[in-house]
Chain A
Amino acid sequence: MNELKVPTMAEFIGRGEVPEVLFWVGCAGSFDDRAKKITKAIVKILNHANVKFAVLGTEESCTGDPAKRAGNEFLFQMQAMNNITVLNGYEVKKIVTGCPHCYNTLKNEYPSLGGNYEVVHHTQLIQDLLNKGRIKIEGGSFKGKKITFHDPCYLGRGNDIYEAPREVMVNLEAELMEMKRSKANGLCCGAGGAQMFKESEKGTKEVNVERTEEALALNPDVIAVGCPFCNTMITDGVKHFNKEDKVKVLDVAELIAQAKDL
Chain B
Amino acid sequence: MTPQMIFLMFFGGAAVWFGIVVFRTLSMVRSALALLFSQTAVGVMFLLMQAEFLGVLQIMMMATEMSVMAIFMVMFMMDPGGMGAMDMTHQKRLSLWAGGIGFVAALAVIWLADWGPANLQIPDATEQTAELGRELLGRSMFIFESAALMILTAMVAATMVAIHPSEGRKR
Q: Do A and B bind each other?
A: no
Report which B residues bind A (CB closer than 8 A). Answer: none
Report which A residues bind B (CB closer than 8 A). Answer: none
